[in-house]
């Protein structure tokens, strides 16, 4: 049995709104009791949560430091300037905008700043691991700009840089985007930069998934090659849910004007404070060791799954993410994901390249190691997780087996405390 202990940070929520309190505590219990393998999720520190939930939530501060449209901004000006400087230093860039509410509007801001309506955006196709905001048709980015897509190789499922170069030469896009939500290998940012330059295009690196790995030195850095870099601030960076745009100084004014006043109003200074705390944490040796362990864990988990007959897209991983093709297991991704969730192992069903199934019921499963690594799990724990996953996929219709595994997972998770949680 797990038991709730006193949580001073939610005492007023409990008193004022018991229903919301119970839902928050239920989610907290769920995050403690489960093995969270969704690669875009993580655990923030208690310090990040405290900053995000601070009195800065009361503040309205349209504009930028020194150029606000409200009085009483002396403290938030100092705060936002500090966070900008931390971002610039950590990522080695000339300018940082820390106001975007999330990754999607941040990408939109980059396009607004650098493109004209109808210009071509060239990005990885969504079914091949790309993101909606890289020009896909159902996104605003595919409606207001012209989409040009590159795909992974049909056999290796790797990015074919020669093919990317050929498409860029033929289509002459205004911007080329590197980045994805389901690509388990390294990005050759130097080659992307060279291709973009040769095509007369801007180069945007969307590092939302891998920014923490870049900081840790276990993934190539796009800063020397990209005109703009966008990253969310959660995922491997372990901050609150927000975003940053990092860019060359020559694009700073256009990007700032695109974020505000073009696309947003007042920034969420409480979130910016949480980002600032996360950036300070990311500048430590402990964080670099964390990033190395994320990759080590992913490689071991991938190898163990392969040993158990799982087909992995690209054959493995170089980063935090593993994409599994469940066709050979004769289980669709959605069914496997739901069975795993019942067993206390949380991933997400996902399309695979050239998937014959529809996106809402695809062939694949996407998992990753940021959250479990934050809890202190290492290689041996990855082997145990792979064994459980294999057992779940083999017994997707056996509720008793899934419930038994869930109990084992809860016992297992007690040995790896989740940061900042007030349940045991």
Q: Which residues are catalytic?
A: 60, 62, 206, 232, 235, 241
Q: Residue 164: which residues within 8 A CB-CB, separation 6 or more?
A: 150, 176, 192, 195
Token digits for 158?
A: 């790797």
HSE at residue 7, side-chain half, CA atoms within 13 A, is: 22
List of long-range contacts for 10-13, beta carbons under 8 Å, 24+ apart: 10/422
Residue 250 makes CB contacts below 8 A (sequence gap 6+) with none
Give strand ranges (E) for 28-158.
35-36, 63-64, 67-68, 95-97, 120-124, 146-150
* Rounded Cα–Cα distance for residues 223 and 182 (Å): 22
- Backbone dihedral region for residue 264 (phi beyond 0: left; psi -120 to 50: alpha; all else: beta): beta
How many angstroms from the chain centroid is the CA of residue 286?
20
Instruction: For residue 361, report the phi and psi dihedrals to the nearest 5 degrees.
Output: -145, 70
CB 60 within 8 A of CB 266: yes
């Amino acid at each position: 049995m797990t038991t709730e202990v006193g949580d001073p940070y939610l005492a007023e929520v409990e008193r004022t709104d018991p229903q919301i309190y119970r839902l928050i505590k239920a989610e907290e219990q769920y995050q403690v009791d489960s093995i969270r393998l969704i690669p875009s999720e993580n655990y923030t520190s208690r310090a990040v949560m405290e900053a995000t939930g601070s009195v800065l939530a009361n503040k309205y501060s349209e504009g930028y430091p020194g150029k606000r449209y409200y009085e009483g901004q002396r403290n938030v000006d100092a705060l936002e300037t500090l966070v900008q400087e931390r971002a610039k230093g950590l990522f080695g860039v000339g300018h940082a905008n820390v106001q975007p509410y999330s990754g999607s509007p941040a990408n939109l801001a980059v396009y607004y700043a650098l493109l004209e309506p109808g210009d071509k955006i060239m990005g990885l196709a969504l079914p091949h691991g790309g993101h909606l905001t890289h020009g896909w048709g159902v996104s605003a980015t595919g409606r207001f700009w012209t989409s040009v897509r590159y795909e992974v190789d049909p056999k290796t499922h790797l990015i074919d840089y020669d093919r990317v170069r050929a498409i860029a030469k033929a289509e002459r896009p205004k911007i080329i985007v590197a980045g994805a939500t389901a690509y388990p290998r390294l990005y050759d940012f130097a080659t992307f930069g060279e291709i973009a330059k040769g095509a007369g295009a801007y180069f945007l690196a969307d590092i939302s998934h891998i920014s923490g790995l870049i900081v840790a030195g276990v993934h190539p850095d796009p800063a020397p090659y990209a005109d703009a870099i966008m990253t969310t601030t959660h995922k491997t960076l372990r901050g609150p849910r927000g975003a940053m745009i990092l860019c060359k100084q020559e694009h700073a004014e256009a990007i700032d004007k695109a974020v505000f006043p073009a696309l947003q109003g007042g920034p969420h200074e409480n979130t910016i404070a949480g980002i600032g705390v996360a950036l300070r944490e990311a500048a430590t040796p402990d964080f670099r060791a964390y990033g190395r362990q994320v990759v080590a864990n992913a490689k071991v988990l991938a190898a163990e799954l392969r040993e158990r007959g799982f087909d992995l897209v690209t054959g493995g991983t170089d980063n935090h993410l593993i994409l599994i093709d469940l066709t050979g297991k004769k289980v669709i991704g959605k069914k496997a994901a739901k069975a795993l969730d019942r067993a206390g192992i949380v991933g997400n069903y996902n399309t695979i390249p050239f998937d014959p199934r529809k996106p809402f019921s695809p062939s694949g499963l996407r998992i990753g190691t940021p959250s479990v690594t934050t809890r202190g799990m290492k290689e041996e724990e990855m082997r145990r997780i792979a064994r459980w996953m294999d057992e779940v996929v083999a017994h997707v219709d056996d509720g008793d087996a899934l419930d038994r595994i869930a109990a084992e997972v809860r016992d297992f998770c007690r040995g790896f405390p989740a940061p900042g949680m007030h349940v045991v």
